[in-house]
């Protein structure tokens, strides 16, 4: 019976460990936590699509000048933006709601929403889960 208790503990640990690790970072990218949300305003300087560690696909990104910082904003897979005709351009003034983190030594943001003009684009739901 004593060994059964140890066995049960080891099985429980093996089940819990992946769940705990899933809350940690993925390639240096933190799990989205709505309690850490901030709002950033700036002007789009650049738009880039590249293989992204956040989405695991070719993702769309905008670089915005926000005060003295240039923030790399991770939006969503490029196909998501195309599917919903989301168009952002250099020079657009935007307001980004998301969580700030450092990635590859640069200030970055995981975006939940981006507002430009009269439009607000949602990339994550109210709990921070991806909408793609």
| Measured distance CA(60)–CA(45) in Å, rounded | 14
pLDDT recorded at residue 3: 56
Q: Give me the half-sphere count of Cα atoms (radius 13 Å) on the Cβ side of residue 20.
A: 6
By DSSP bridging, strand 93-103 and strand 106-116 are antiparallel
pLDDT tier at 78, thresholds 50, 70, 90: very high
> Which tens digit of pLDDT belongs to each residue from 82-130?
999 999 999 999 999 999 999 888 999 999 999 999 999 999 999 999 9
Which top CATH class is 32-122? mainly beta
Q: Give residue 97's Cα distance to chain centre.
A: 11
Query: Read out DSSP for 16-38?
Result: HHHHHHHTS-BTTBPPP-GGG-E
């Amino acid at each position: 019976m004593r060994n059964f208790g140890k066995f049960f503990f080891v099985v429980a640990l093996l089940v819990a460990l992946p769940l705990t690790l899933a809350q940690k970072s993925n390639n240096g990218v933190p799990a989205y936590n709505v309690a850490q949300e901030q709002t950033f305003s700036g002007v789009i300087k650049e738009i880039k699509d590249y293989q992204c560690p956040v989405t695991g696909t070719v993702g769309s990104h905008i670089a915005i000048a926000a005060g003295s910082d240039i923030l790399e904003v991770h939006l969503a897979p490029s196909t998501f933006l195309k599917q919903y005709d989301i168009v952002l351009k250099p020079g657009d003034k935007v307001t980004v709601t998301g969580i700030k983190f450092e990635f590859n030594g640069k200030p970055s943001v995981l975006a939940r929403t981006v507002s430009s003009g009269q439009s607000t684009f949602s990339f994550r739901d109210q709990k921070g889960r991806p909408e793609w």
